Amino acid sequence: MQARSKSRLYKIAGAILFLLTAAYFFFGRSRTGQLDTAMCKAPFDSGKPLTQYVLMVDAGSTGSRIHVYKFNNCQEVPVLEHEAFKMINPGLSSFKEDAQGAAHSLDPLLDLALASVPKHLQSCSPIAVKATAGLRLLGAEMSDKILDAVKAHLEDYPFPVIQDGVGIMDGKDEGVYAWITTNYLLGNIGSADKTPTAAVFDLGGGSTQIVFEPEADVVDMHEGDHKYKLQYGGREFLLYQHSHLGYGLMEARKAIHQEVQKTGGVHPCFAPGTTMEVQLAGKVTFTGAASNGAAQCRFLAEKILNKQGLCNLAPCSFNGIYQPALASFKGEAFVFSYFHDRLKPLGVPSSFTVGDVMALTEQVCAGKDGWQQFSAIDGALAALEEEPNYCLDLSFMVSLLHHGYEMPVDRRLRTAKKIKDNELGWCLGASLPLLDAGTGGWSCRVTEIH
């Protein structure tokens, strides 16, 4: 009797799953009878739902962020209709041994998801939590405990967790997803048209990524993990990508501080008159140089890039890493994340050159005597006062772009936090494949029957 009863429950659960999925895919109305989008009345493809939501949590090295994406299927290619976003500090990696604390730190983000996704769509709105460089640096044992706790905690929420959806993201995927995000929002991909694509340079806390589509004269790239074939929207793209682990801004700061520690307490990257206590192996107190230390600071930044490292496969960017030369790349180049966060408060426009950043760095590294020109920019002086690492951060960025990637000083760059009111970064690019439940590795969630 017990076996027969259990079999019956499985059949009921299966029937509910079928009905739930059918309702999801063939009806675009809420329980009140209203359409879930004002963009159209029916999906372009009758086999797809009218609207879909994807939830992506970016567990970065300095904080966690959730992106709640709403798509409509009014056209052949899914259209991003709305994005809800929230960020919290600190990141998962800061909890270390407190795995439960790390998991519950995501609650404010999940509360936003509950408020943003209509209740009747929550059980068919997949969620993923992707950790990046910060958690990688904790080591396998500690990071695994945190990720296991996060996965278990997500079971308390109605959203289906995608297969292998809670984990540390491969660095190469992080960069490629950011490339997809940028070019999707720019309208460069999604159709069979041969539209030129933009390169992306993403500077995080623990790592930095570069992804671009080399020009036709260098498409015969050497084989290796740097080579990434992508099919999207009826086109095939051959991309170069690399994630430089340990070359994010926070890791670069540490490396530069350690270089200065070897020679004494005078730090050329701190403005004249500055005293700064830094946590390395222990607490170290540095004092700023007597005069503008921009040149010396940039020298230190170039040193940690290890440009002289053994290059087994030419050409190389830095630290012995193969990279096709950027000199022939004619497309747009987007720099974001920490690039944007450091440049925008100082009044840098959305389009600028590498040379512009060099000049800005000189002025910032001069200390308060060189900051008068920022007085007309709302919030700029406060930003400089609050962040004593500003000179160091800009010096590293200039060195990375000009010395590391060998961009000429007149190379024009673009930066943005958003395109068309949507956040840049890897999250949207990682979410687009999840719109297809079959290939995305998830199915609508059914409440357990007792």
Residue 296: Cβ within 10 Å count: 18
Q: Is 206 annotated as a binding residue?
A: yes
Pairing of strands 51-59, 127-131: parallel
For residue 211, give the DSSP letter.
E
- Structure tokens, 428: 């949207």
Identity at 405, one-letter amino acid code: Y
Strands 199-203 and 351-353: unpaired
Answer yes or no: is 233 a known binding residue: no
Provide the Cα torsion 178, 184, 185, 191; round to 10°.
Answer: 170
Whether the bond between 90 and the residue before it is cis, its omega within 30 degrees of 0, is: yes
Q: State the Cα–Cα distance between residues 173 and 242, nearest whole angstrom.
A: 9
The response to whether 30 counts as a known ligand-binding position is no
Enter the tokens of residue 375: 């007085």
Interatomic CA distance for residues 191 and 329, integer angstroms: 22
- Residue 445 phi, psi (nearest 5): -90, 135
Instruction: Tokens for 167, please give them.
Output: 């984990």
Q: Is 209 annotated as a binding residue?
A: yes
Residue 216 CA to its chain's centroid (Å): 28
The catalytic residues are 174
Q: Is 52 annotated for ligand binding?
A: no
Rounded-to-integer distance, Cα 226 and Cα 9, Å: 49
One-letter amino acid of 415: T
d(CA 165, CA 316): 34
Residues annotated within the binding site for ATP are: 205-209
